[in-house]
Amino acid sequence: MFGAAELRDLLRGAEQVVLPVGQFLLEQRVGPAEIETKSLNSLVSHVDKTAEARLVKGLSIVLPEAGFLAEEGTAGAAGGTRYRWVIDPLDGTTNLIHGLPVFCVSVALVDGDEPVVAIVYDPNRQECFTAFKGGGAFLNGRPIHCSDRKTLDACLVATGFPHWDFTRMPAYLEALTAFAQGTRGLRRMGSAAIDLAYVACGRFDAFFEYSLQPWDIAAGLLLVTEAGGLTTDFGGTHNPTGLLSGHEVLAAAPGIAHAATSVTNRCFR
């Protein structure tokens, strides 16, 4: 297990890899002929693949013994098994393809199933969210914290609409209705990594979504916990292995976490 100083150094090394890749994303334009469909509403382009290859190459130097879990499969099963870089080279591909400037690079180093280093870089806003285990969470080097709100009616809640797994739609719509009626509003950004980063810095008070992937959330989960928030499944249980699978994710500021999980537990259970 790495100590705090080692994690800080790994974070700094990873940042030097991630930031240029974010700038690369800003320079790209994707035409209809360059878009591939991986599965229902899951798109990929040469931009995703090139960005991922650059991340894998750079991060392999930062920590040679680490393996990779990458969305586009660039690295395969290369490297070690205890430490892995969990990479989403472009979280918000659909947004980029449609010209919506809401996308990011998300990178986490996990020890087993526990994220220990996190970077979410939004190049459109030049915002780099970072964290390492036990070291706090930061936005462009300044400490961030989850909101201090205590009641749901004062909250802004983020979510991601189901886009391929519609088996739980009735429960999701029930939860959506409850949050819409019981909060100040709901937002859907199209990037789970950005949603989680915004919970960490207090812009959102809570986020919930189901059927995500590890690369969507690994970095964001650490950002939220290091910013003082809580991350659980819809029933309110914190299980690192289960959370990282992305099956159910709820992240919330500490003062409203119980109220938020009360909604999701009632609707999804």
Q: What is the pLDDT of residues 69-89, one digit of tens each?
A: 997 676 554 556 799 999 999
Pair of tokens at residue 66: 């680490």
Between the alpha carbon of residue 180 and those of residues 22, 184, 212, the distances in Å are 33, 7, 22
Q: For residues 129-135, give the mean pLDDT.
A: 98
Mean per-residue pLDDT, 95-102 = 90
Q: Count structural domains, the chain.
A: 2
Distance between CA atoms of 162 and 95, rounded to whole angstroms?
16
User: What domain range is 94 assigned to?
Assistant: 4-143
Q: What is the mean pLDDT of residues 94-116?
A: 94
Sequential DSSP letters for 177-232: HHHHHHSSEEE--S-HHHHHHHHHTTS-SEEEEES--HHHHHHHHHHHHHTT-EEE
Do residue 120 and residue 182 come from a single domain? no
164 and 128 housed in the same domain:
no
What's the pLDDT tens digit per position in 212-264? 999 999 999 999 999 999 999 999 999 988 899 999 999 999 999 999 999 99
Which of 258, 16, 247, 260 is closest to 119 using CA atoms?
A: 16
pLDDT tops 70 at residue 174: yes
Residue the block writes with tokens 């970072």: 130
Contact 78, 68 (CB under 8 A): yes
**pLDDT value at residue 40:** 43
Domain boundary among the residues 83, 117, 143 is at: 143
Residues above pLDDT 90, as percent of the chain? 81
Boundary-marking domain end, from 119, 143, 167: 143
Q: pLDDT band at 43, cuts 50/70/90?
A: very low
Report which residue type is found at 170: P
User: How far, in Å, CA of 79 to CA of 63, rounded?
Assistant: 10
Q: What is the mean pLDDT of residues 162-168?
A: 91
Asked whether residue 113 falls in the same domain as residue 179, the answer is no
pLDDT for the residue numbered 41: 39
Task: Specify whether 55 is located in the same domain as 130.
Answer: yes
Query: 221 and 185 in one domain?
Result: yes
